[in-house]
Structure 1
Amino acid sequence: MELELPHWKDVPVTLGSDGLYHAKVTVGRKPNGDLDRRHRSGKSEAVVRRKIRELLRKVTAGQKPRVGRVPTVEQWFRIWLTDIAPYGARPLARRSLDDYWSRCHNWIFPHLGGLLIDALEAEDLDRLYKAMFSKKPKPCSEGHVLKTHAVIRRGLEIALRRERVTRNVAKLMDPPGAPRVARESLSADESRAVLEVASRRRNGARWYVGLAIGPRQGETLGLRWSDLDLDNEIVTIQWQLQRLGWRHGCDDPSACGARPRAKNRNGLHRFEPCPKDCKRHKGTRGCPPPCKRDCEEHASTCPKKQDGGLVLTRPKGWRRRPHPRVVALPPGVARLLREHKETQKAEMREVGTYWHANDYVFCHRDGRPMDPRVDWADWKDLLREAGVPDARVHVMRHSTATALLELGVDLSIVQEVLGHSDLRTTRGYQDVGVELTRRAAAAMETRMAAPSQRPAERLQMASVTDLVTERLRRRSS
């Protein structure tokens, strides 16, 4: 049975022994069935009645305030990343979650953590981004700042949906940093040069697969022979190989990091910053920040470490796909994979009992999975030998999209080949190269030249008419 809300003028206001005016009003029931009574106080009766009127207005509008204090930015983001983001219909992937925590610890908590989440202003975010762009000795990249802004925007959006805030200030301001940067892709000649060098190398088929169907690096390294149907020349992409950070498996992570080591009797925690003339961390990303007193880092040295290393995980958008992603292979690439399989069998016989039976298509000579860092180094060496300018491994994905577009493949098919959940993402991966613009120029030339052809056609038609008229005149005479 629903309770009828009283009128704000009918709520009794009393003067307390503390010199303040107090009032209590029933605004409904709690989840356990008890009455939900709210307390308001102030220096005058008018102040208390104004608070009661505002409370009843929100309750009537379906915006009943939550009980308890408003959380700070740090408190809310910890709740979000611990209890909300890893679960639900669209949980964050492990690596994305680690990246979110890293940005929170390094930037969001130190600069915004103490502010109440409902008191956050756009100017507070501006000061954070200014600090990131002014970092010494090396400023943060524009992409890094933009991704930090995206984390803040997402966290505040969840707070808005949970009615912790009434607005998302990150959405009310322009994103920091530069606009979108055009994605690069290899030309047809550069791709052929890369494949020419790859054909002479071990695991050369890996680069043919990368340029033919454009899988992500982890998806290529996570391919297993059970995912390939070489008779029908198709591949099912349902796993990716990623290196994940380790987590503590002990009961007290802080004490684990503080235990003495062979080379460091004081443990791994750092509570003092490096001196200005530090030479130990010279040439690296910079001196690491001091640890907190309850630091839970250094999990890679934990004797019971878990959930880290090279792990097979599901690829992006796996939960939102109705079926696994199945892609057809070009016949030439399928033939190379058959040859690669025979080569791998020979390596297996050579290694013998030392072979790691992981069923990976692309692996080390003993069957161990290929580390993404090793794969990255192989790609860089491949580009140098082929005489192609330096590029990321991900450039093969963009090159596939561009090549398919130049071949006239429909955009929705390109989306399925690349495994994008949104067609707009596929559009962003495609680079409209000079060949497509040359086709557009030829089509425009035909269109522009058409009117100039019409006078000649009329002249030709007029000549035929005059000839017919002349012949008729002759016959009549």
Structure 2
Amino acid sequence: MDVPHWRDVPVTLGPDGLYHAKVTVGRKPNGQLDRRHRSGKTEADVRGKLRDLLKKVDAGHKPRVGRTPTVEQWFTTWLTDIAPYGAKQLARRSLDDYWSRCRNWIFPHLGGLLVDALETEDLDRLYKAMYSKKPKPCSEGHVLKTHAVIRRGLEIALRRGRVTRNVAKLMDPPGAPTTARESLSRDESRAVLEVARRRRNGARWYVGLAIGPRQGETLGLRWPDLDLDNEVVTIQWQLQRLTWRHGCDDPHACGARPRPKNRKGLHRFEPCPKDCKRHKGKRGCPPPCPRDCEGHASTCPNKQDGGLVITRPKGWRRRPHPRVVALPPGVAQLLREHQEAQKAEMREAGTWWKANDYVFCHRDGRPIDPRVDWAEWKEILREAGVPEARVHVMRHSTATALLEMGVDISIVQETLGHTDIRTTRGYQDVGVELTRRAAAAMEAGMFGPSQPAAKPENLATVTDLVTERRRRRSS
């Protein structure tokens, strides 16, 4: 259907003293004509609105019928109805993290703005508030991740026709995450393994440095996933701690019910006093609860979908086959010894043993909480004399070590389980050994003694060969 020019649309003065215009911009999904109405105090105002409307229609961005959602309404719709489903659905922990950033920062500062009226200055004010937080400002990494959530939500809004531009892409990302230790040196890795070998579940750290699995993938390993005869491991599960969810009908009333130590319930609608002594931890006093708070699910009598659970690892849906990685023979032998030691613990525990088949577990078979694993890692680093680093640093160390040993980057990608080789390149830390190898190659190729050019051994033979080729071409 041809859309008329905005100058050709009749504008009439109505009995209410306003100017009105109606224009057909196509058809609705049910086949009926899609008629749009614009009004204003003057004819020029209506003409301007018609011009903007028909310009968007010509560009293929026909506005939806109804009110434009606010930032809070759109992000709630996105995280509720879009993000958990589809080919690129968010993992449960990522979804919880997105919700947390929305509740704590995006909704309080941007939630009341219309999503199509959002400007870069609004984002600047949000990031300024995060950097100015008292008593401790947000880290650059935290602000950058919040910016990534906004950018992704607006990108989905752009694809769905809710906005005509993604303002988060029109500005530079706010700062950069603080640079952390990306990998351990070879001497540091050996010191860590020397300490780990004397510990219970010491093979866990050998596996972490040998093939670089994620923390949850290592803690989620089960004995059926290991083939110690062929010295290979299939990584197809991970252990994660997920946030509890309410299983009751009224989450707000559940949080407000009296507790033995808190007769007023768990909702706090007023901020803590300045001299608060209850919250002395690293995070400080939490913000007050919203009036319709549905949190505190961990205390719900019917809580569900939380705690330590086994889930599929990252990128599982995009992999054509399970990830099978070969183990170094020394690590495989260490796992055999670990299996025998675990069988002895199983006999000692008797009926107290929890039969979960975890490779690395407590003395009664229970899975190891990632927090406990993190605490043990810090103890190992302290005992080995290695500066503090994340557990994830073992993954970077594996990539760097394989690169230094000349392993092809596609094999490193398969070992680490990356779906994109660009991610693998980001994990590789080019150390001194690689630059020393590059310097040796440069010395031999450019700065070393020049080699005389090789001369033909038999010039007459070469001349005859060229003459013969020319004769064949002419004939």
Structure 2 counterpart SS, 1:260: coil
- Amino acid aligned to 1:109: F
- How many aligned positions are there? 455
Report the alpha carbon displacement of residue 182 of structure 1 after superposing the two structures with TM: 6.1
**Which deviates the most, 245-254 or 386-395?**
386-395
Determine the structure 2 residue equivalent to 1:469: none
Report the alpha carbon displacement of residue 355 of structure 1 after superposing the two structures with TM: 0.9
Would the aligned equivalents of 2:144 and 2:177 in 1 still touch at CA under 8 Å?
no
Matches within 5 A, 1:119-158: 119-158=117-156
- Amino acid aligned to 2:91: A
Matches within 5 A, 1:367-406: 367-406=365-404
Determine the structure 1 residue equivalent to 2:435: 437
CA distance in 2, matches of 1:443, 1:10: 73
CA distance in 1, matches of 2:380, 2:178: 28
- Select the structure of larger CA radius of gyration: 1
CA distance in 1, matches of 2:289, 2:99: 15
**Which deviates the most, 303-312 or 420-429?**
420-429
Report the alpha carbon displacement of residue 180 of structure 1 after superposing the two structures with TM: 7.2
Q: 2:165 aligns with which of 164, 167, 184?
A: 167
Q: 2:16 aligns with which of 15, 18, 27?
A: 18
Matches within 5 A, 1:206-245: 206-245=204-243
Determine the structure 1 residue equivalent to 2:66: 68
Report the alpha carbon displacement of residue 34 of structure 1 after superposing the two structures with TM: 2.7
Would the aligned equivalents of 2:226 and 2:233 in 1 still touch at CA under 8 Å?
yes
Determine the structure 2 residue equivalent to 1:204: 202
Determine the structure 1 residue equivalent to 2:410: 412
1:288-328 CA-to-partner distances (Å, cap 9, x unmatched) read 11111110000000000000000111111111111111100
Would the aligned equivalents of 1:184 and 1:395 in 2 still touch at CA under 8 Å?
yes
CA distance in 2, matches of 1:416, 1:37: 55
Give the direction of change, closer, same or farther, for the CA distance of 1:338–1:65 in structure 2 (3 Å limit). Answer: same
Would the aligned equivalents of 1:215 and 1:418 in 2 still touch at CA under 8 Å?
yes
Report the alpha carbon displacement of residue 39 of structure 1 after superposing the two structures with TM: 1.2
Q: 2:98 aligns with which of 77, 100, 110?
A: 100
Determine the structure 1 residue equivalent to 2:108: 110
CA distance in 2, matches of 1:44, 1:126: 36
CA distance in 1, matches of 2:365, 2:227: 20
CA distance in 2, matches of 1:202, 1:400: 22
Structure 2 unaligned runs (5+)?
455-475
Q: 1:280 aligns with which of 261, 265, 278?
A: 278
Report the alpha carbon displacement of residue 453 of structure 1 after superposing the two structures with TM: 6.5
Q: What is the TM-score of this pair, normalised by structure 1?
A: 0.91
CA distance in 2, matches of 1:209, 1:54: 61
Structure 1 unaligned runs (5+)?
458-477
Structure 2 counterpart SS, 1:236: strand
Report the alpha carbon displacement of residue 284 of structure 1 after superposing the two structures with TM: 3.7
Determine the structure 2 residue equivalent to 1:297: 295
Report the alpha carbon displacement of residue 452 of structure 1 after superposing the two structures with TM: 5.5
Structure 1 counterpart SS, 2:38: strand
Determine the structure 2 residue equivalent to 1:315: 313
Report the alpha carbon displacement of residue 442 of structure 1 after superposing the two structures with TM: 2.1
Matches within 5 A, 1:337-348: 337-348=335-346
Would the aligned equivalents of 2:140 and 2:175 in 1 still touch at CA under 8 Å?
yes
Report the alpha carbon displacement of residue 16 of structure 1 after superposing the two structures with TM: 1.7
Report the alpha carbon displacement of residue 23 of structure 1 after superposing the two structures with TM: 2.4
Q: What is the TM-score of this pair, normalised by structure 2?
A: 0.92
- Amino acid aligned to 2:291: R
CA distance in 1, matches of 2:390, 2:343: 31
- Amino acid aligned to 1:47: D
Report the alpha carbon displacement of residue 10 of structure 1 after superposing the two structures with TM: 5.1
Determine the structure 2 residue equivalent to 1:191: 189
- Amino acid aligned to 1:321: R
Query: Sequence identity of aligned pairs in percent?
Result: 86
Would the aligned equivalents of 2:181 and 2:389 in 1 still touch at CA under 8 Å?
no
Determine the structure 1 residue equivalent to 2:466: none
Report the alpha carbon displacement of residue 56 of structure 1 after superposing the two structures with TM: 3.4
Would the aligned equivalents of 2:140 and 2:178 in 1 still touch at CA under 8 Å?
no
1:330-381 CA-to-partner distances (Å, cap 9, x unmatched) read 1111111111111111111111111111111100111111110111111111
Determine the structure 1 residue equivalent to 2:255: 257
